[in-house]
Amino acid sequence: MAFKRVSSRLVKITRRLAEEWSKMPAYSHDRSFKQGRSDSIHQDILAGKFSTCEWISAEWQGESYRIQGQHTSHAIKGCPESVLKGLMVTISHFECDSIEDMGILWSTKDRPSSAHTSSETNRFFANAHPEVAALNSRVLNALVGGLGYSYWGLKNADHSAEQRALLPSDNVPFCRFAAALLGGGVGQNVSHLRRSPVIAAMHQTFKVSSEAANEFWQLVSTGAALDRNDASRVLQMFLITNVIGGGGGRGGGFKNSVSRQEAFAKCIIAWNNWRKGLKIAKLQWNPAHAVPKAK
């Protein structure tokens, strides 16, 4: 999959050109039109505070779609030609191999003065699949972070927001399973599960056995195991009493701070012990050793 720039030209801005651009078919997941944003651009043009802009279109399966320029074209078409004198627009056209490529092009090009937030990017790519699109933003963002850690570990941040945002749609069965846990029940606090290394461990165990993973993580969620030395209950207490994300020492309140790597490793250790039916009093992991694999 890829997209490539086919052409790029600098042309004079006219009302007619803006009218044509505003009526061009938009990419299906383009942001909704906001009159206030268009009015703000319109006022900048009238006040002489607008210099230039870029409009982008993309072709996919023989059809051209507007990727960027919705608000500026609407603002410009309502301006007198006299105030448009000397204003230029760069018009670029791309070819895309797939609808996903159009999404990536959109997310990298159609931006306000500041970049899209990760949440906006996650929501945009979630729209590619109905089940993922139905997730609330809190759960969706948690899943993106967790799946990124599952695939790339400590190098998760080296991957683009777009690459990470594609992961839920590539793992729909897991997202269905995890969302049921992360959503929580009435009066149930599951904040100890909504952490990237924990969700990454969920994903790794789910790949081993979806049925066993469901049983184990339900126990970690609720603490329902009767034996306090049951690995699921020991893990729950570890997650509740530790802040994840630090390198050690004391965290906020009465909680210790542990690294993401330690949290992930101990989740897997707890799972492996639970699968074997072994009782444990404490989760132990030596950072000098490799992170264990889920079995």
Domain boundaries, the chain: 3-111, 130-276
> How buried is 241 (Cβ within 10 angstroms: 0-12 exposed, 13-18 middle, 19+ buried)?
middle
Kindly provide the b/e burial profile for residues 96-105, where b requires at least 16 CB atoms within 10 angstroms of the residue's own CB: beeebbbbbb
Q: What is the pLDDT of residues 47-67, one digit of tens each?
A: 888 877 889 999 988 899 998
More confident residue, 132 or 32: 132
Q: What are phi and psi of 202, to 5 degrees?
A: -55, -45
3-state helix, strand, coil in the chain (%, to 5): 50, 15, 35
Q: How many CB atoms lie within 10 A of CB 56?
A: 22
The pTM assigned to this predicted structure is 0.63
Q: Residue 90: enclosing H or E segment and its boundaries? A: strand 88-96
Q: What is the pLDDT of residues 197-237, one digit of tens each?
A: 999 999 999 999 999 999 999 999 999 998 999 999 999 99
* pLDDT of res. 50: 81
Which of 6-10, 192-196, 223-227 is least confident? 6-10
- Beta-bridged to residue 140, according to DSSP, are none
Q: What is the pLDDT of residues 175-185, one digit of tens each?
A: 999 999 998 55
